[in-house]
A and B are shown apart, each in its own frame.
Chain A
Amino acid sequence: MSSSYKSFSPSRIWALTMSTVTQLLRMRILVFLLVISVVVVGASFAFPTFNAAQQLKMLKDVCFGLEQLFAYVIAMVATALLLPKDVEDRTLYTILAKPVPRLDYLLGKLFGVLIVIGGGLVLLDIMLSGVLWIKQGYVLEDTLAGLHMQLGGTPPPEAIAAATADVEKQGLTWALHVGVLAIFLKASVLVSLTLLISCIATSTLFSVITSFCFFIMGHGETLFREYFFKGGTAWWQYLAAAVLAIFCPDLSLFDVVDAVTEGRAVLLTDALHMTGIGLLYTGGYMVVAYLLFVEKEL
């Protein structure tokens, strides 16, 4: 025999990861990205009648909205397709008939989807940053020219400084990249949750619908959790709130996109908290997914 067996092998996981990436790219994901990129560039020319801050805010809102749509749709739909498709095509038999631990297979799928989502988000982030940077320059120029006309001469330095600060606040900031990180973290949680559901699901449709339900409930989990912590209500309401809070992840914890598009700066501690929570969910759900998959009969 030519190779020795290792129960954990990064190169084996990497081979599965890259095969997942290729598999996903074959699902025309690049076309999806291309359409979003066109909209990003198009959005930079839109809303010319609005003031500087509003134009930049609109551009960010549209782009971040599309980035979220891209990340969450891929996270739920593409992930839900992966496992059942491998079972249906029997590729899973051929793979698991090799000395491949089932955990490696799951990790390969997880990392493959995350690389596609992460790569897509990085591309869109670079594009948005570029477009925003150029647009910021233009709108600042327009604003200062407007001030010049309004005052009939050179505006005072304080007015220039205030207008510049206003535009810069809505322009390209580091916080925007933290917003992209938050989208990625939420997508990671969704990918691991969808993989978990795939391990018990009997069809792709079931996985997609269940993931979507978790997605919606995950954004309302705060309500259940706070209800649970507040207590003092009827026991069955208390129990229902507890069950929902325990079973759903709090996806709203990653919704800092609203704040960053408003021009707020993100504290490092907040970014770290968010990352920690994201890793906890993803890691936890992968452990559960493994426990379900390791006994799955194929």
Chain B
Amino acid sequence: MKRKLQALVVFILLGICKLPLEQRTATSLRSHEMLYAPLDYSARDAVGQMGFAATLGGLRSLVASITYLMGYTAFEETNWSRVDMLFGITTMLQPRFDVYWDDAAGHMAYDAASNYLYDESRPTLYRKQLYRENVQRGIDILNEGLRHLPKSDRLHTSLGHLYARRVEPRNHELAGEHYLLAYQNGGLPVMERLAAYEWAQLNNAPERWKQAYTILKRSYGMGLRAPGTMNFMHSLENKLNIPPALRMR
């Protein structure tokens, strides 16, 4: 009996002593993005009882992979609301993996939007409205992803692409902004030039034009003479009234 009491005392003491250590370790691991905060109980409805139990068992990434695969099947069946729901769960489970956000947005802004746009069974106006809504859904997903991963060049690039290629009318200002952020966060050098191309297409934006011209001049100085670059450069020289002597050839 004496030993049983000793066991209980040691167990409780261990439990008390471990609390601050656990707290410190958890904080440290979270600050280094090694751990996720515990899943909200409301997530149980989204992932189902089994999925929720599995995430509680530490199998979060496996559950995310499974919902991702289910989302992919839904994409093949063009069941867009299900795609949106399943990718929503996937990104909720692993919000720090940018590929999930990118894929989720891509399915909505490209696949779903185009599918609705070319669906001739629906009236034209309604098709266009669905197209816009789904592109906007893609933008929302990427913005939500950027809230978790503000330095993801992948997400900035994708958002830049959506503003530059999918929204109507095109939003050159925001597209350029995100392309530049993508470049500044480790993206390819072409992202900086894409930002310049977008801003070159703006109306009445002398400050952006100057910024774009500076970028393109630097590229030119580095020996880049691609026709696209040259066209935008000449257009900017005209807009900025650059004296002929200072213009690039």
State yes or no: do A and B touch (Cβ within 8 Å): yes
Task: For chain B, residues 94 to 134, give those with C-beta under 8 angstroms from any C-beta of chain A.
Answer: 94, 96-97, 99, 103
Q: Identify the stretch in A21-29, A87-95, A256-264 within 8 Å (CB) of chain B at 4 or more residues.
A: A256-264
How many residues on chain A are close to B (CB under 8 Å)? 65
**CB atoms of A262 and B10 under 8 A apart:** no
Q: Is B85 an interface residue (CB 8 A)?
A: no
Q: Are A292 and B4 CB-contacts (below 8 A) given A254-B58, A256-B29?
A: yes
**CB atoms of B10 and A288 under 8 A apart:** yes
B38 to chain A, nearest CB (A): 5
* Cα A159 to Cα B60 with chains together (Å): 32
Q: Are A291 and B3 CB-contacts (below 8 A) given A68-B59, A264-B34?
A: yes
Main secondary structure of the interface of A (DSSP, over half): helix
Q: Is A216 an interface residue (CB 8 A)?
A: yes
* Cα A58 to Cα B97 with chains together (Å): 12
B198 to chain A, nearest CB (A): 20
CB 8 Å contact bits of A258-298 with B (1 = contact, 0 = none): 11011010110110011001001100110110011011000
A252 to chain B, nearest CB (A): 7
**CB atoms of A270 and B61 under 8 A apart:** no
**A277 proximity list for chain B (CB < 8 A):** 18, 21-22, 25
Main secondary structure of the interface of B (DSSP, over half): helix
Closest partner residue, chain A, to B18 (CB atom): A280
B6 to chain A, nearest CB (A): 5
Residue B97 contacts which of A220, A262, A294 (CB distance < 8 angstroms)?
A262
A235 to chain B, nearest CB (A): 18
**CB atoms of A65 and B61 under 8 A apart:** yes
**CB atoms of A54 and B99 under 8 A apart:** yes
Q: Is B188 an interface residue (CB 8 A)?
A: yes
**A158 proximity list for chain B (CB < 8 A):** 188-190
* Cα A64 to Cα B65 with chains together (Å): 11
CB 8 Å contact bits of B3-47 with A (1 = contact, 0 = none): 110110011101110110111011011001111111000000000
**CB atoms of B33 and A220 under 8 A apart:** no
**CB atoms of B10 and A258 under 8 A apart:** no
Q: Is A72 an interface residue (CB 8 A)?
A: yes
Q: Is A103 an interface residue (CB 8 A)?
A: no
* Cα A221 to Cα B26 with chains together (Å): 11
CB 8 Å contact bits of A192-228 with B (1 = contact, 0 = none): 0000000000000000000000011001111101101
Closest partner residue, chain A, to B64 (CB atom): A61
Q: A65-B61, A295-B2 are in contact. List 10 more A-B contacts (CB 8 A).
A: A220-B56, A247-B11, A253-B25, A256-B34, A280-B21, A288-B7, A288-B11, A291-B3, A291-B7, A291-B10
Name 23 interchain pairs, CB-CB below 8 A, sorted by A: A50-B72, A54-B103, A57-B97, A57-B99, A61-B61, A65-B65, A68-B57, A72-B57, A159-B190, A246-B19, A247-B11, A250-B22, A255-B58, A255-B60, A258-B94, A259-B34, A264-B33, A267-B34, A270-B29, A280-B18, A285-B14, A291-B3, A295-B3
